[in-house]
Structure 1
Amino acid sequence: MKSRYVHTNIIAKDWKRISLFYQRVFGCKPIAPQRDLRGEWLDKMTGIENAHIVGEHLSVPGYDENLPTLEIFSYDNMESSNEKLINGIGLAHLAFEVDDVSAVLKKIKEEGGGQLGEMVKAEYPNNMIATFVYAKDVEGNIIELQSWEKKRE
């Protein structure tokens, strides 16, 4: 059986705002066309009567320009009782490896996101040191920032 990872979907209150956040902070790029989806097939697939989805896919840095993607969508009618917790059941966060965790965290805050917990350094096998911090995008989705370096001896 062959398989490959294709995308991660984020349902946003304002898909354009979230899309711009990921473009500005991480350099993600929109992949045409923008989506405007509706029809009997979508109603059947989602189980939502008269479902209507708008949004777009974003390429993610470090990979082919078409896959995998972040799929940023908004529905006309959305459930808003979805508190995002780092220890909540289900998908917890998106992770990005970056050169400078502090600089990217600063950019996240400048773009309207926030920080969750403290920035930490941890020693790993093979003389590696990792820097980690959890952040939040403009709608509260959790993002892990990480960088790796060889321990200086």
Structure 2
Amino acid sequence: MFRYVHTNIIAKDAQKLIKFYKGVLKCRSIGETRDLRGEWLDRLTGISNAHIVGEHLCLPGYDKDHPTLEIFSYDTVENSCKTINKSGMAHLAFEVDDVESTLQLVLQNGGNQIGELVKTEFADGRKAVFAYATDCEGNIIELQSWS
């Protein structure tokens, strides 16, 4: 079997980031919290005395318990610069009813806007609204709506 299971975000403050994704982007708790440590985790991560806490949140638009956004914190978190054109994982995208009002919720909950909110029409006649933003810890998210 092959199936997509989750995307992991390492947070400086897991509880704050979990609250952001639940409140702003409609992710929901599925009751899978984690408080992990042990020799097996040290071996898996390559980090001595690793300790992970966090929760799995079901992504909006899915009825069951997958796929999830796995938000974890380690006791020690490394910081790095995130930019929209950095190689590797760039952003998480969420289709929303109203990009403008969702962007305002992002900003009211500690996020920031990247670039401009853009409205465009494609050759097939579909119209879309897009905005890039960051969550309250600087992870890049894309907001989009289609008509």
- Where on the TM-score scale, by shorter chain, does this alignment land: which range? over 0.9
Does 1:136 find its partner at 2:138?
A: no
Letter paired with 2:30: I
Does 1:69 find its partner at 2:68?
A: yes
Residue 83 of structure 1 corresponds to which residue in structure 2?
81
CA distance in 1, matches of 2:5, 2:123: 31
Residue 29 of structure 2 corresponds to which residue in structure 1?
30
State the Cα RMSD in Å: 0.9
Does 1:101 find its partner at 2:127?
A: no
| TM-score when normalising by structure 2 | 0.96
Does 1:13 find its partner at 2:12?
A: yes
Q: CA deviation at 1:20?
A: 0.2
Q: Which structure 1 residue ranges, 5 or more long, are not aligned?
A: none
Does 1:56 find its partner at 2:52?
A: no
Which secondary structure state, in structure 2, belongs to the residue aligned with residue 83 of structure 1? coil
Tell me the percent identity.
Answer: 61
CA distance in 2, matches of 1:46, 1:98: 35
Which secondary structure state, in structure 1, belongs to the residue aligned with residue 143 of structure 2? strand
Which secondary structure state, in structure 1, belongs to the residue aligned with residue 24 of structure 2? helix
Q: CA deviation at 1:44?
A: 0.8
Q: CA deviation at 1:12?
A: 0.3
CA distance in 1, matches of 2:96, 2:32: 28
CA distance in 2, matches of 1:31, 1:37: 18
1:108-147 to structure 2, matched below 5 A, reads 108-147=106-145
Which secondary structure state, in structure 2, belongs to the residue aligned with residue 62 of structure 1? coil
Q: CA deviation at 1:64?
A: 2.9
Q: CA deviation at 1:125?
A: 3.4
